Structure 1
């Protein structure tokens, strides 16, 4: 480790990764509140952004590598640009469900609040800070549980950005663990993994579990003192910012200062975005697309079968765990903590942890790959069912089951499963997207001098990235996203429609 004591290097790496995670979450929360509330209240913005976000959330993290390098490394000093690129990549792994959570909360807001805002002449800033943000609090907290885990899951990929001959490696806990393993430093490797798990568990016990317990009324193991300090600090900063912007908006509106500049800024932003799209299209169309892009359609069925298997398996296991959690509060608490811990382990770390199994046989490689797939998919269903779904079982149904002595399979089939179906559908859709994102680390990995390539779309994207084939990587990621969106709009929309029609009012 270059003469630096191991424990100092480890702590420095931990601090760097934690800072990136906090920065990425802060950016994601602001983006989610801004975009989510704007989409919910402006039909024009909604019609434009919803399909765009639908595509963006389906792009695996490798698909954002070219954008990260172009947007940040090109226009900033390298050290700052790479750091910003890393934070940007982490944001892409946790922001989407936060945006849709805020969007659904503000969209379902009672129209009386808007009527009240008109009566008291609330401007955009006042509505944002005093109405939309408080209304989004519950959904933001609930989605943050999974988003925080998603950020850690792709942390290593965001700290080692590699595209062809260009490789940018940042100091961080993920890169520390991989470097330790690749250099044969097993002590550093296991200390890094232990530090990672301890840090993840601490962030949940100190921050996210108290927030969930207070906001959602869900009792989870927690220590509230740190959360109270963080909450009061964030509330003070956010409140001060709100008062400042609201006061500025009121003063500016008297002199009509804002209307002109804001409109021109919006127009300029739109023109800039269209120019970038046009330039990118000219670049792509002006070059001969590599023949390898066609192979994505050959790889799709393989990855599709794996993703479908993972989602079905995740559903089955989650329902079993949820049933026993429903019967035992102690079991529920233990399973929630275990889930929070395991869900956050970066995907690529599973390969060195289980390398003995992976190198033992081809079957072992598929077993480890399946575990990595589960890491990216399972927890969306797990948390939606275990944390939110169990709370949706109506008390009168429980009393009815007690009166008529409905137990075992009868209770499970006729009351338990129907009560959880809305949460199951939401979790399954997220698990579906998570499995596709996990394919980039489940189907292809380089550990030391060994390369494991199991085929599929994820492996294809990795091969494009390693060869520096930016066009192939970009176009393949876009094609994959379009396929996922088409399936979402056909299969998943029908599933949601069925559940809403049959169980929505029960």
Structure 2
């Protein structure tokens, strides 16, 4: 019974975070795609935010939720908020890309017929983004599970905020040496993850894309789809009815006042008065993490190409997809107790696996869900007729055809690898501490010490460094890919 309740609690947080992320992603993604000013401001900001680990949001979660609201409610909302930070970014980019690629004549028609916001949502925006939302939800759902334990156990110096759930239960059993209970609970987590994909997300992606690439059992999804459609129809009808009223303005005013109050409270709670911050130490650790992240992203690229070959040529796509969904969803911190025999002798191996788990699957899903299905059959037929094989097949057929999805997946993998630093470079438990250095390790130690001032300062410098790298490196890579490798 305890295990069942823990599963339901964690699954409930995941579902709540997903629903919130979905509405936020639709709102922000559409705004970015339709408003140049919003796009120019938010696009670089989101590129940075997706690279900030979940620990970077701990001060906001603690101040805004855990200290302002009643403890039980505040902690639940804090956990959901932290899971949202693991789900959200990929979904926003999916909606943004889908709306951005629409034929401009659609918007001209909407203006001619004087369609309001909710009418456009119902008949243009959401239908156009449906496939992208479904496919990106698979990646985001995995990211939420990956950081579930970090959201359920928030340690800040002498304070530890622990929520009842399967993630915290797994770590409790590990810390207390209950090996049998640890593996039973871990197995239950794996079952939940697989079931959620087979019954919900895979059928949704197959239905939205009409490609049926992923293994799924669709009957339960049919009832979920009917329920969601009914709720969406009601919300759309209500929105259209209220469209002529100025409710949006009033809501915006309330939101501004609410955010202002929160920021004032945050400023009072976390006064950033840092007498000493080791800048050189930060630079050294950031460069150390940068080397690891770069290596992991490069390795993710190589592995993804090999996986794409197996999916395309060997027809192993469904088996590979379900294996990827399963592995991508294993909470990051659980890899340390799962591979505990290696901790004392080869901690870097466990760190490497955690890094890879945090990065590879973004690249993997981008290629499998968006790249492989879009390769034109004529190209594959010509390669077969002319006997293009081996290295030439990868060089002239596979990589050029997949490069757009590889590049976009690599950018997400880059953010995922930076997120993984907090658990790949530092692990503390009742049995000891593993500290491999790096900026993720710095942030983890500051959070453990309850030094929110140093956490915020580290995140600020981290964000600045990521912004520079995105501008200098990634923007050029993406522009070059767009010019050279786009296959019509």
Q: Name the TM tier (shorter chain).
A: over 0.9
Which secondary structure does the structure 1 equivalent of 2:184 belong to? helix
Select 1:19's aligned residue among 4, 7, 12.
12
Q: In structure 2, do the counterparts of structure 1 residues 195 and 276 end up closer, same or farther at CA, with 3 Å as the change threshold?
A: closer
Distance 2:43 2:449 in 1: 33
Please state if 1:242 is matched with 2:236. Answer: yes
Task: Indicate conservation of the 8 Å contact 2:272/2:453, yes or no.
Answer: no
Compute the displacement of 1:289 (Å): 4.3
Correspondence for 1:298? 284
Distance 2:251 2:279 in 1: 38
Correspondence for 1:356? 341
Aligned residue runs from structure 1 range 92-107, under 5 A: 92-107=85-100
Gaps of 5+ in 1: 1-7
Distance 2:485 2:157 in 1: 50
Select 1:129's aligned residue among 122, 138, 156.
122
Distance 1:191 1:83 in 2: 25
Please state if 1:173 is matched with 2:163. Answer: no
Task: Indicate conservation of the 8 Å contact 1:180/1:188, yes or no.
Answer: yes
Which secondary structure does the structure 2 equivalent of 1:95 belong to? helix
Task: Indicate conservation of the 8 Å contact 1:293/1:476, yes or no.
Answer: no
Q: In structure 2, do the counterparts of structure 1 residues 198 and 415 end up closer, same or farther at CA, with 3 Å as the change threshold?
A: same
Correspondence for 2:365? 383
Compute the displacement of 1:458 (Å): 0.7
Which secondary structure does the structure 2 equivalent of 1:222 belong to? coil
Distance 2:214 2:236 in 1: 31
User: What is the root-mean-square deviation in Å for CA atoms of aligned residues?
Assistant: 1.9
Gaps of 5+ in 2: none
Compute the displacement of 1:244 (Å): 1.1
Compute the displacement of 1:387 (Å): 2.7
Correspondence for 2:79? 86
Distance 1:456 1:53 in 2: 23
Which secondary structure does the structure 1 equivalent of 2:434 belong to? strand
Select 2:38's aligned residue among 40, 45, 54.
45
Distance 1:234 1:268 in 2: 28
Distance 1:275 1:322 in 2: 50
For normalisation by structure 2, the TM-score amounts to 0.95
Task: Indicate conservation of the 8 Å contact 2:51/2:414, yes or no.
Answer: no
Please state if 1:341 is matched with 2:326. Answer: yes
Correspondence for 1:320? 306
Distance 2:259 2:300 in 1: 39
Q: Which deviations, in whole Å up to 9, do the C-alpha atoms of 1:9-39 show, x marking residues without a partner? A: 1111000000000000000001000111122
Correspondence for 1:460? 442
Distance 2:251 2:237 in 1: 23
Please state if 1:495 is matched with 2:468. Answer: no
Which range moves more in the overlay, 298-307 or 211-220? 211-220
Which range moves more in the overlay, 112-121 or 182-191? 112-121
Which secondary structure does the structure 2 equivalent of 1:167 belong to? strand
Distance 2:268 2:166 in 1: 40
Select 1:436's aligned residue among 392, 397, 418.
418
Please state if 1:473 is matched with 2:460. Answer: no
Correspondence for 1:307? 293
Task: Indicate conservation of the 8 Å contact 1:293/1:475, yes or no.
Answer: no
Which range moves more in the overlay, 332-341 or 372-381? 332-341
Compute the displacement of 1:399 (Å): 2.0
Between the two proteins, the alignment pairs up a number of residues equal to 487
Select 2:55's aligned residue among 62, 70, 83.
62
